[in-house]
Structure 1
Amino acid sequence: MMSQEQNDLITRIGPTAPAGKLMRMYWQPAALADELVGERPVRAVKLLGQHFVLFKDEQGRYGLLDRDCPHRGADLAFGRLEQGGLRCSFHGWLFDVEGQCLETPAEPPGSPLCKNIRQRSYPVVEKGGILWAWLGDGAAPAFPDLDCFTAPDTYTFAFKGLIECNWLQALEVGIDPAHASFLHRFFEDEDTSTAYGKQFRGASADSELPMTKVLREYDRPIINVERTEYGLRIIALREIDAERTHVRVTNQLFPHAFVIPMSTEMTITQWHVPVDDETCYWYAIFTSYGAPVDRAKMREQRLELYELPEYRSRKNKSNDYGFDPREQATATYTGMGNDINVHDQWAVESMGRIQDRTREHLGQSDKAIIQYRRLLREQIEKVAGGEPPMLFLDPAEARSVQGPATMDGIGPTRGWETYWMEVDVRRRRNAPWAAPVPADIVRLAPHLSAAE
């Protein structure tokens, strides 16, 4: 059992909260790059409980500023883009992307006031179709060489969705291999050739077995969890028979992301980014190792569920997530349609805005969640003690954090330990872009990289 104090420690992310201080040691997704296109690329952003304005100036530079104008506190998110910056609509004070005040037009001619005014600004970089913000103090860490950052732009697609609960319970559903056999159970299997862009609807590698059939019929996975340099590796084994075992390898990417297989050719790297203590966004980069991503199709599929500009699900608590008892009896385990994002959203939002972990009872199948919470507490303590947390990387270290490896396939019951690595390496070697074999696989199975 967890105490309320322990629950608060790992969920609260304000500027002075211990977990909030940890989160500010990492780059955070602030918006999709697609959100700052068009005639007025200005957006209000709430991130880690703080209010900002994000904008792109006429030169294409990104700026992230505190949202309240330092003159009289008016809302800069309603400002005007002009003359090299963002101009407050109240008195016309003008700020560039670095927060420097360029003009205070109501002041007397020659007034030096603007030279001494600077709004706090935060670095912003674009990677993988996401605009990332650094909210911490001092120099920012380097980005690791993850596949989603290494792949060419045409082989990635980014999207996001709003979830009305704390970030931690949104993350924990993604590192829980057991839930997929129930929450995402379909009673009938579809043609796997039509599964593009849909998770759990295709066939596993080296098999014609639909993933829906595997999850439905083999619902007691053996779960192995390993510490890695980037977080956790989670391996779920579902034995089909004495010769064949379904192997699924996923990863927890510290602090608040996971990397999972979407299909034999595509992975999902997904962050669970706190808006505040009670709301979060998931940001995902879909990375293809086969053909370039069909971005138009992927976007169209997701806009069937998510409404702009907030990327809020059309199925939500207000309409019972589209629950249909007849569907629950005949088609899906939840009765909430075919989109697994809705299933996940119901599960984590139904726990409450911040899950009361003092009332939960964990079992063997929750071992990844148990180990992640332990890791989270360890890293919170490191930051509180003045030490950098894991994955706070310098450029040299960042180049060594690659991949991570992830896969879904049916391999030998005896020999699955190397099978999953073989599948991952094979996919990388066949990729049309230079997908590196992760260093940890090279260490574990050097023979797999020797033929490169």
Structure 2
Amino acid sequence: MISQKLNDQITRIGPDTPAGAVHRMYWQPAALVDELTGGEPRLPVNLLGERLVLLRRGDGYILATRRSSPDEPPAHHPARDDICVVEGGPVYPVVEKKGVFFAYLGTGEPPAFPNFDCFRAPDSHVFAFKGLWECNWLQALEIGIDPSHASFLHRFLEDEDPAESYGKQFRDKAAHTDMPMTQLLREYPRPDLEVEETDYGLKITALRHMAHDLTHVRVTNQIFPSAICIPMSREMIITQWHVPVDDETCYWFTMFTSFRQPVNKELMRAQRLKEHRLPDYAPLKNRTNAYHFDPDEQETQTYTGMGPDINVHDQWAVEGLGAIQDRTREHLGRGDAAIVRYRLMLRRAIKALETGQPEKLPMQDRSLTPQIVGPLSNDAIGDTGNWLAASRQMDTERRAGCPWDATV
């Protein structure tokens, strides 16, 4: 458990807050390119506690401060009417990357983008989407760096045919086996964890020791300050940012990156639009309708009884903690190793900014950041005594057969 003062320090993200200052040192997803429909030249954007508007300027875009009125809708709702820009207010740079507009709300020169797979793959191999969660960004991130939760929160009591599961997480077969991933997660629910710091954040390795001296290796990553990179299947990875709208609301922005085949964007968009409304990308299943909980489904099909979409499971879990999780009453265990390590990293970053040492933050060296590649995010199975080599071989084979330059 931590003190209320520390909980406030690491969760609040307004312009004059410690964690907000850290977030402003990085490019943040601001909007999907898909949101600018019909040639619309402007788009309201709410980001890091600021109400802004995305505007065309020349051949590119900027974020400008927009005037708010007392009767304005909630911060997450992108009302388009009567958008007034504050003259002389801050203007932030914007770049487009693979269907997402990224904005830099900090001061000075923006950092370079790392050479992550989601940025270096061709547009044909990347699909972007987003969704709204009504909770603080930190609890949204922390569920993504907890490898054990997949065995419980996403427990499927029936295993569907992976051939019918394109665009869905955990529906592949475990590497080099005929065992569905859902079965493996169900039968080996308590992995050993290894957490190590990297140039970009954290590398998290979950080891599920199986029969016949085999070990399933699942490598996921925390990308500082608020993103994750995890395997979706053997051929696709997910890079997901947990972007603060304000202290009590956040969006997840996800880039789905395929190594071999182009992404079926129409299918993946249709799958996700069945679960979200436009224009604010709020999930149709939410606390107002009990996330469509079905006790009969819970008895025979899924752990949550809330359908097969794992985003709904995560949403229920993180929103159920309250708008801002009360960490003064928590009791972390062995499965929370990555969460503990991340909070220490965040506190160090806050301290570095307070003492005038921004270069100590991850990926703030302008010359070295473009050289950061990957990160490795995959599932593999190998001999228990040599699981590391099996994981690296799996990644090497996947990259070698890739039609775009995925070399590391």
User: What TM-score do you get using the length of structure 2 for normalisation?
Assistant: 0.94
* Shift, 1:174, TM fit: 0.5
> Are 1:183 and 2:153 an aligned pair?
yes
Deviation of 1:78 after TM superposition, in Å, equals: 3.6
Amino acid of the structure 1 residue aligned with 2:9? L
Q: How does 1:73-88 map to 2 (within 5 A)?
A: 78=81
From 312, 333, 343, the counterpart of 2:313: 343
Identify the residue that residue 360 of structure 1 maps to in structure 2.
330
What residue number does 2:236 align with? 266
Per-residue CA distance 1:223-245 (angstroms, 9 max, x = gap): 11111111111111111113321
Of 400-409 and 158-167, more deviation after overlay is shown by 400-409
Q: Gaps (5+ residues) in structure 2?
A: 69-77
- Are 1:283 and 2:282 an aligned pair? no
Q: Note if contact 1:205-1:409 (Cα within 8 Å) is conserved in structure 2.
A: yes
Structure 2 residue aligned with 1:157: 127
Match of 2:342, as an amino acid? Y
Alignment partner, residue 193 of structure 2: 223
1:125 equivalenced with 2:83 (yes/no): no
Aligned residues of 1:147 and 1:287 also touching (Cα < 8 A): yes
Aligned to 2:4: 4
**Aligned residue number for residue 62 of structure 2:** 63
**Contact 1:184–1:343 at 8 Å: present in 2 too?**
yes
What is the alpha-carbon distance in structure 2 between the residues aligned to residue 320 and residue 76 of structure 1? Answer: 26
Instruction: Note the alpha carbon deviations across 1:69-96, whole angstroms, 9 max, x for none.
Output: 9xxxxx995458xxxxxxx5xxxxxx8x
| Contact persistence 1:229–1:390 (CA under 8 A) | no
Map of 1:393-408 to 2, 5 A cutoff? 393-408=364-379
CA contact (8 A) 2:381 2:391 kept: no
- Alignment root-mean-square deviation, CA: 1.7
Partner of 2:20: 20
Q: Offset at 1:61?
A: 2.5
Which of the two has higher C-alpha Rg?
Answer: 1
Instruction: Give the secondary structure class of the aligned counterpart of 1:123.
Output: strand
Counterparts of residues 134-149 of structure 1 (less than 5 Å): 134-149=104-119
* Contact 2:137/2:243, CA 8 A, preserved across alignment: yes
Q: Distance in 2 between matches of 1:393 and 1:354?
A: 28
In the alignment, what sits opposite 1:301? 271
Contact 1:275 1:281 in 2 (8 A): yes
- C-alpha distance in structure 1 between counterparts of 2:79 and 2:174, whole Å: 50
Q: What is the deviation of 1:399?
A: 2.2
Is the CA contact (8 Å cut-off) linking 1:25 and 1:392 kept in structure 2? no
Partners in 2 of 1:79 and 1:7 — Cα distance?
Answer: 37
Q: Is the 8 A contact 1:195 1:202 kept in 2?
A: yes
CA distance in 1, matches of 2:37, 2:385: 52
The answer on whether the counterparts of 2:112 and 2:370 sit within 8 Å (CA) in structure 1 is: no
Runs (4+) off by over 6 Å = none
SS at match of 1:370: helix
Cα distance between partner residues in 1 of 2:405 and 2:190: 37
Equivalent AA in structure 2 for residue 30 of structure 1: A
CA distance in 1, matches of 2:403, 2:366: 26
- In the alignment of these two chains, the number of paired residues is 398
2:148 maps to amino acid:
A
Alignment partner of 1:420: what SS? helix
Identity of aligned residues (%): 56
Contact 2:60 2:94 (8 Å CA) reproduced: no
Q: Judge conservation of contact 1:67–1:76 (CA < 8 Å) in 2.
A: no
The amino acid that maps onto 2:55 is: F
Residue 166 of structure 1: how far off its partner (Å): 0.1
1:244-263 aligned within 5 A: 244-263=214-233
Residues 15 and 21, structure 1, Cα contact 8 Å, conserved in 2: yes
Describe the SS at the equivalent of 1:209.
Answer: coil
Cα distance in structure 1, aligned partners of 2:352 and 2:253: 26
Q: Residues of 1 paired with 2:291 and 2:29: CA distance?
A: 26
2:285 maps to which residue?
Answer: 315
The CA deviation at 1:271 is: 0.4
Specify the code of the residue in structure 1 equivalent to 2:385: R
Aligned counterpart, 1:84:
none
Rounded to whole Å, the distance in 1 between the matches of 2:100 and 2:5 is 34
Q: CA deviation at 1:119?
A: 4.0
Q: CA deviation at 1:394?
A: 4.5
Counterpart CA distance in 1 for 2:164 and 2:81 is: 44
Conserved? CA contact 1:307–1:313, under 8 Å: yes
